[in-house]
Amino acid sequence: MTRLLLARHGETVWHAGNRYAGGRSEPELTELGVRQAEQLAKTAVAAGVTTVVSSPQRRAVTTATPTAEALGVPLHLRSDLREVDFGDLEGHFLDEMDPVAAQGFRENPEANAFPGAEPLAEAGVRGAAALRAIEEEHRGGTVLVVAHGTLFRLTLCTLVGLPVRNYRRIFPGLDNAALSEIRLPADPSHPAAIISLNCAP
């Protein structure tokens, strides 16, 4: 059985106020974010992690690197783990946007996405396919996957069969560097199992 441990990247300089950092944005980690990455490495070593896979975006790579270095293993990068592209919302606070559009996004982010945004269902399928590929490539190991909050929440909805339009309600948030463990069934038509969710490293 392959263990997949999912971790959102450490805190970034855009964390305060929840500025939307998506697939086109590259904010740096804060000092706290760096410490979170260091603590994640200690937790990952204790958990028996054998492989480290990351989104290629800087905040994820910076978070994943201490674990790979502590284990003495290469850091595998996958472009399909990039964060969701938020279109016109990218780099902005939700409250900065048109109030009507912002309220529509809060009520149903799938139907009321901002112009240029990646469709949520497509992002969820992308993330689910990435995790299945990672499991196949590293079968029987314990894999730390470092990526992004919205991508992970959409991916979890997709894997357990929940509507992605409700991802903000079902999974209100994933803490920086917190761990979630999932198990994928042999039959991809069956729902995944969430073993633990959003546990502090």
The tens digit of pLDDT for each residue in 185-197 reads 988 889 999 999 9
Taking the model in full, what pTM does it have?
0.95
Residue 156's pLDDT is 98
The backbone torsions φ and ψ at residue 111, rounded to the nearest 5 degrees and listed phi first, read -80, -25
Residue 91's pLDDT is 93
* Per-residue tokens: 51: 């492989």
Domains and CATH numbers, the chain: 3-199 (3.40.50.1240)
Vertex 101: Cα angle to 98 and 106 (nearest 5)? 120
CB 191 within 8 A of CB 157: no
Residue 141's pLDDT is 95
Residue 5's pLDDT is 98
Q: Is 73 exposed, middle or buried (0-12, 13-18, 19+ CB in 10 A)?
A: middle
Residue 201's pLDDT is 79
| Residues of the chain falling short of pLDDT 50 | none
